[in-house]
Amino acid sequence: MTTLHLIDAFAEGPGTGNPAGVVLLTNERDAAWMQGVAMEMNQAETAFLRPQGGDFALRWFTPFDEVDLCGHATLASAHMLWEGGHLAADATARFHTRSGLLTATRSDDGWITLDFPAIASQQVAGPADLAEALGVPPRSVRMGDFDLLVELDSADAVRDLVPNLGAVARWPLRGVLVTAAGDQPGVDFISRCFFPALGVPEDPVTGSAHCALAVFWAERLRRDTLTGWQASRRGGMVRCRVRGARVELAGRAVTTLRGELLL
């Protein structure tokens, strides 16, 4: 039996954070099958797990394509493994992925910490139609491994943003991360993330984006421990700690659906 879960990651409770499909495989399936399931699930990402010794092989698919790195679906996968008894409560979840070995640990209070690659970004000019597509002039523009990172002047500008997603989808990159300094107690920075070329107009809470956002704000604020708030409609908190070439991303998760996949 192939089991299917829907899990809200980086969530404060059901209906918050970012929902991810998680499929636990009993045998290897090809990429075309996984892509078909991801299209059927129609979530920002669906994760596919397969036991590999004491570890797990892990792949992530949007409705349109496979991706190289995904935080929220990794957090959801780890949550499912512990909740379902596939890993001991104090065991480290180890995932073999396109981005190398990724791990997850769980604390007694339910927070799950991911160990992910840190992503540095470099200042760039950005697309010629950037300000027009965003509807607001950027304060700074940088490029990381996957995404354009655009800093705006205020948190309100991030919250109020209504980008032209058709224009964003034409840019030759995974997506755009829009960010500003936080304006509420306990929040160091806020962000919103758009990936229309991958079939994800706005991602609710993006773990992989915080690999770049945490590095950017750690340099700006001169602190290695930060809290980010992704200001999507669902919203979600990501606790971040930059450790050289790695970054820790912490959040909570809740299961909202369990079933059997019949495809």
Query: Which residues are identified as catalytic?
Result: 45
Establish whether domains 3-105+252-260 and 122-244 are of one fold.
yes
Alpha-carbon distance values, 28 to 24, 33, 96 (Å): 10, 10, 14
**CATH tag, 122-244:** 3.10.310.10
DSSP β-bridge partners for residue 192: 178
d(CA 87, CA 90): 8
Annotated domain spans of the chain: 3-105+252-260, 122-244
What's the confidence (pLDDT) of residue 1?
77
For residue 262, pLDDT beyond 90: no
Q: What is the pLDDT of residues 135-188, one digit of tens each?
A: 999 999 999 999 999 999 999 999 999 999 999 999 999 999 999 999 999 999
Alpha-carbon distance values, 110 to 43, 83, 90, 166, 250 (Å): 24, 11, 11, 39, 10
Query: Chain centroid to CA 122: how far?
Result: 21
pTM: 0.95
Assigned fold of 3-105+252-260:
Diaminopimelate Epimerase; Chain A, domain 1 (3.10.310)
